[in-house]
Amino acid sequence: MLAPVESSRLPLAAAPKQLLLVSGMVVAIGLVTGLAWWDAAREADATLTDLGAEQAALASSMAVGLRAYLNGGERDPSRLADALLKGGPRIEHRGELRLLLAPPFETALRASDGRELSSPRLRDALDQGLPSIRLTRSEAAECGLVARTAMAGLAHLDAPFGRWGIVAVATAARERDREIRARWRLVLGVLVASGLVLGFGGIALRNQRKELQLERELVVAEVQRERDQKLLQAQRVATMGTFAMGIVHEVATPLGVIVGRAEQLLGKLKGDERLARSAEIIVEQVDLIQNTVRRFLDLARGGPPSFDRVDPADVVRSAATSVEHRFAKAHIALRADVPAHMPPVQGDRALLEHAIVNLLLNACEACSAGGHVEVLAREDAERVAFVVTDDGAGISPEDASQATEPFFTTKPAGSGTGLGLAIASEIAKAHRGELAIASNAPRGTRACIEIPSVS
Amino acid sequence: MSTSGHTSRILVVDDRPEMVDMIAEELGERGFRVCTTISGPKALDLLRSEPFDALVTDLRMPGVDGLTLLRASIELDPSRPVIVMTAYGSLETALEAVKGGTWQYLTKPFRADLLARLLEAALSSKHAR
């Protein structure tokens, strides 16, 4: 049994290519985003360092102010510290910038609001003479700032009472917020740009696919057109051949009678030379007619029909193959069903195939889109049957009885020659068989060519 | 050319009456006893019911064709000569599939003369056997 015949499809390798392209784009976008993110992080780090430097400068300027106080003659360190911190609130920003003083001989740091702060890390940094350090969120909160990363600028001053330490602590909250917004802007920008690229890329790809599809359809249409032409050519040859065979057959017997009768006359006209010659001319002219008819047969068929052993299954398969494109175009399912082993028939392969093709095309035209046609070969006693059934419009008993007559057609004018079934019938007769057309219950038509098998 | 005096019975079958009439006359003039029919089934009945020395039949006929008659004749009497008349030499291969029997084919149109000679030769070789 053959698989259902489908239209031939050309391979389309665009799908894997597209997948590769999209993957590449996603990786590229990820890479660009990652790089930009890394750069933004580095920028943020630099901002923090700058902030630290600013705080260190502030602390240094405070140190200059402290020196001025020292030069003013105040000798009580505690009062000196209070005096110095009194000006603090003028400089400080609530929650964002604070000033701390580390007087000599005290471990705690003093804030302008009088609070004492114990920060071993700031103390260590002061002792080490570091210009600035980064404070964690909790350390920033301890300094009375918002709980965000902060930078502390450090300065010290050696005075008669010992070493004074001045600390300016500022959170990087605003910078950080700005950075975060900048990062999101970056991500959004990248995403929008990527979306645009992907969108336009997608449209371009879709257009390209459409073009490919169109190109493919054109190729398929071209292939179908070529197959149609070949089929038409084969049909013409077979039609001519079948007619030629019919003509040869129809003409041969009357010619035989003419020759025989002329010879009879010839025998009786021995005495009359002129009449005898006339009878001879009749016989000669018959030979001429016979030669002409035979030449026509040779020309039409490319030789006389050759009756060989033919495998019925081969005939069915070839016939189905040569019309499958017509069925695909009309959206009609064609199924070929032949047994694995069949007895051969004596016949002309091309003619038999042509007869089945005619039955198939007739069935195809009888069906509307979505219809089904089945062709099968069966053996029964000493005969082989080729059966084509369809679930199309069906046929009335009156039409069925006339269907094999030449030029009979139920199709609209111009769409059928009315010769397809006549030729199939003629081919069946040439094979000592017959073509029967009948209604196929519950719907459609059944056409059957039955010919003797080779015993 | 005719061998008068022999009384061989020949059955001539062709669906065209003009053809059987012409052959019957030709063979009759040459001394054959000729029985004719234009019906294949009738010919089959005649072969089964009456003794014929030879069969001359057309190949393509409606109903029962020449190949069937040839096979029937071989089945009934393999030694009986059969001459099959064909319109084109194309069915030679189909005929060649027929095993046994003594048969030949003649492509139409042929000289009546030739048919008579073929019959005489076939019948004399049959009698020689």
The 10 Å Cβ neighbour count of residue A397 is 8
B9-123 maps to CATH 3.40.50.720: no
Distance of CA A217 to the CA centre of its chain: 14
Q: Residue B89 is nearest to which of A258, A304, A348, comparing CB atoms?
A: A304
- For residue A6, pLDDT over 70 is answered with no
Give the Cα separation of A132 and A243 in Å (integer).
Answer: 111
How far away is chain A from the Cα of B78, in angstroms, using its nearest Cα? 18
Six token digits for residue A201: 């890329």
Distance from CA of B96 to the nearest CA of A (A): 10
Mean pLDDT of A191-210: 88
Mind telling me how many Å the CA of A407 is from chain B's nearest CA? 22
What's residue A1's pLDDT?
A: 40
What ipTM was reported for this prediction? 0.80
CB contact under 8 A, B109 and A294: no
Are A305 and B23 inside 8 Å of each other by CB?
no
Question: Taking CA atoms, what residue in A is nearest to B71?
Answer: A455
How high is the pLDDT of residue A25? Answer: 80
Cβ separation A257–B94 shorter than 8 A: no
**Residue A13, amino acid:** A
Distance from CA of B90 to the nearest CA of A (A): 6
Give the number of A-B residue pairs with CB atoms closer than 8 Å.
83
Chain B residues in contact with A346 (beta carbon < 8 A): 93-94, 97
Give the domain ranges of chain B: 9-123
pLDDT at A10 over 50: no
Give chain A positions within 8 Å (CB) of B65: 432
Chain B residue with CA closest to A258: the answer is B109
Contacts of B110 in chain A (CB under 8 A): 256, 259
- CA separation for the pair A13, B63 (Å, rounded): 60
- The answer to whether B37 and B24 have CB atoms below 8 angstroms apart is no
Which chain A positions have a beta carbon within 8 Å of B107's beta carbon?
A: 252
pTM: 0.54
Mean pLDDT score of chain A: 83
Lowest mean pLDDT, pick from A21-30, A118-127, A293-302, A368-377: A293-302
pLDDT at A13: 53
Q: Verify cis geometry, omega within 30 degrees of 0, for the bond prior to A397.
A: no
Distance from CA of A367 to the nearest CA of B (A): 33
Give the model confidence (pLDDT) of A92-150 as tens digits.
877 788 888 888 877 888 888 878 888 888 888 888 888 899 988 888 888 888 888 88
pLDDT score, position A94: 79
Do B97 and A252 count as a contact with CB atoms less than 8 A apart? no
Distance (Å, rounded) from C-alpha B73 to C-alpha A382? 19
How far is the C-alpha of A366 from the C-alpha of A396, rounded, in Å? 13
Residue A254 to residue B88, Cβ atoms within 8 A? no
